[in-house]
Copies of this chain bind each other. A is one copy, B any other.
């Protein structure tokens, strides 16, 4: 029984969130996103090439890659050197879609590709939500660099995006689940939202449990509070309004 959450956290409270910019010397943009003990290193690289199916379109592309270091979790996992695993591919597709949602691909300065690498240094639940939240900061900075380089005039990110998890754990509605909570959750939901408080992506799953419309709306109320914290942290670290 999870009488108390770690650090006596309130059920609807976030863990400590810390976004650190510019921690990589070489990447165009980078951000270390920490949600409690979860640490994801996000780096954004812009390259002067486009995927084959993009040729001649004049548009840019934005994609993401996600991986966990073998020792990130509480049990060593294998590197994906011999084929990808489904979970990683699912997550990196989610990150890519979320960022493209707020990026004007026509305004990236031509047929260029931004790749956002999200590498989980330490995993304690919520790696995909930390990845999306940090990826936005890394992408923002990389596009600013692109502006400085004279390749674009305006940052093609026309809005903010951040993500948080909510879940039902032993009957309690909780925000921002850590690994132990997540492992015991009856319902697990990830919500990606923008600054208008609108939904960009929602993924909710019951583990042998289903949920009503009312429950769904409760989840979203709670998620919305978490998203506000994250959007503020993003602006704060970038020093923007």
* A residues whose Cβ falls under 8 Å from a Cβ of B: 24-27, 30, 37, 41, 43, 45, 47, 65, 67, 69-76, 79-84, 86-87, 89-90, 92-93, 97, 100-101, 115, 117, 119, 121-122, 124, 193-194, 196-213, 216-217, 220
Q: Is the CB of B67 within 8 A of A79?
A: yes
Q: Is the CB of B82 within 8 A of A83?
A: yes
Contact of A220 (CB < 8 Å), options: B30, B196, B208, B213? B213
Q: Which chain B residue lies CB-closest to A84?
A: B81
Q: Is the CB of A210 within 8 A of B200?
A: yes
Which residues of B have CB within 8 Å of A84?
Answer: 81, 83-84, 86, 89
Q: List 26 A-B contacts (CB under 8 A).
A: A24-B122, A25-B122, A41-B69, A43-B69, A45-B70, A65-B70, A70-B115, A71-B117, A76-B117, A80-B81, A82-B83, A84-B89, A86-B90, A90-B93, A101-B208, A101-B210, A193-B210, A198-B211, A199-B204, A199-B206, A199-B210, A200-B210, A203-B203, A213-B220, A216-B220, A217-B217
Q: Which chain B residue lies CB-closest to A43?
A: B71
Which residues of B have CB within 8 Å of A45?
Answer: 70-71, 76
Which residues of B have CB within 8 Å of A90?
Answer: 86, 89-90, 93
Using known A-B contacts A24-B122, A71-B43, A117-B70, determine if residue A92 contacts B101 with beta carbons closer than 8 Å. Answer: no
Which residues of B have CB within 8 Å of A26?
Answer: 71-75, 122
Query: What is the CB-to-nearest-CB distance from A165 to chain B, in angstroms, rounded to a whole number?
Result: 14
Q: Is the CB of B41 within 8 A of A121?
A: yes
Q: Is the CB of B211 within 8 A of A25?
A: no
